[in-house]
Structure 1
Amino acid sequence: MALTPYARSLGIKLSEWDGDTPIIRVDFIEAVEGRPEHYHGGATGGLLETAGYAVLRSMLALKQRQAILKPINITVQYLAAGKSRETYARGRVTKLGRRSANITVEAWQDDPDRPIATAVMNVLVAEPPAS
């Protein structure tokens, strides 16, 4: 699975697959630190967005659909401070239509049932230009 240059600059990587759902991970490194020993909110948002696009790309691949993805909006809720340890995120496509997709994402550290942040994403799913 290919990640964006932004995701790679934060050290975001694929951790594992849960069935057809990618689990994304980021280690606590200087690039993601905000206040001492805590994740920067932008890094957390970047992790959530990366996980959302990863699950959408995975679903599109399963349906053998080629598409250009463009963000419509993303809403992030910060629930708890991310501490200085690895953080995981997983997305779920709640709706995949012909022209748009709705995705929910959760990020956690120690327990998937205790998220530190969540996001709702709306993405335009555009047909690639004919070649």
Structure 2
Amino acid sequence: MTAMSAEDFVALINTAKDSKDWRPVFEIIPYFTFLGLRLEETDGKFISVLSEDRKFIGNPTLPALHGGVVGAFLESAALVHLLATQEVTQLPKIINITVEYLRSGKPIETYAEAVITKPGRRVANLRIEAWQKDRNKPIAAAHANFLVS
């Protein structure tokens, strides 16, 4: 993340929440830009979108998404969910993440939704699922813990 005061960061997050335009937030986090990350809000749910890009292919013979990209996408979706749904005063920091790779992901647009399973004053626990064409056939899932204050 580029150098920015905590007050400016919080103001940027609050502006994104009001306008529902998360691009300015994503632009200050270089990895989000690399992933081509987008956030869509539907019926009060936040869905993170990983863009289709050949640079994410890990196994060209299948072809399949690289596991590191899938794991990073799940972590990013959890972080974005925290930013979008919680009152933040600083960027939440990952404590740990456990990723379950359930099936091979094709190099196509991929979606993820995070759910806070236990909100806390200092630590938030989340469950994240990623899928492609069929929500009922997830390609990966994860449990993550973030330091939120």
Q: TM-score, normalised by structure 2?
A: 0.76
Q: Which residue of the partner structure matches residue 47 of structure 1?
A: 73
Task: Indicate yes or no: 2:25 matched with 1:27.
Answer: no
Q: Which residue of the partner structure matches residue 117 of structure 1?
A: 140
Q: Which structure 2 residue ranges, 5 or more long, are not aligned?
A: 1-21
8 Å Cα contact 1:20-1:58 kept in structure 2: no
Matches within 5 A, 1:1-131: 1=22, 2-3=25-26, 4-14=29-39, 16-36=40-60, 37-61=63-87, 65-126=88-149
8 Å Cα contact 2:54-2:107 kept in structure 1: no
CA deviation digits over 1:18-68, x for unaligned, max 9? 33332111222122111112100011111111110111112214xxx4244
Say which structure is richer in helix: 2
Deviation at 1:100, TM superposition (A): 0.6
Deviation at 1:111, TM superposition (A): 1.1
Q: Distance in 2 between matches of 1:95 and 1:18?
A: 22
Structure of greater relative contact order (alpha carbons < 8 Å, 6+ residues apart): 1
Letter in 1 for 2:130: A
Deviation at 1:122, TM superposition (A): 0.3
Q: CA RMSD in A?
A: 1.4
Percent identity reads 41
- With over 3 angstroms needed to count, the CA separation of the structure-2 counterparts of 1:34 and 1:94, relative to structure 1, is same
Q: Distance in 1 between matches of 2:95 and 2:121?
A: 15
SS in 2 for 1:51: helix
Q: Which residue of the partner structure matches residue 129 of structure 1?
A: none
- With over 3 angstroms needed to count, the CA separation of the structure-2 counterparts of 1:13 and 1:24, relative to structure 1, is same
Moved over 6 A (4+): none
CA deviation digits over 1:46-101, x for unaligned, max 9? 1111110111112214xxx4244111100000000001211111100111111110
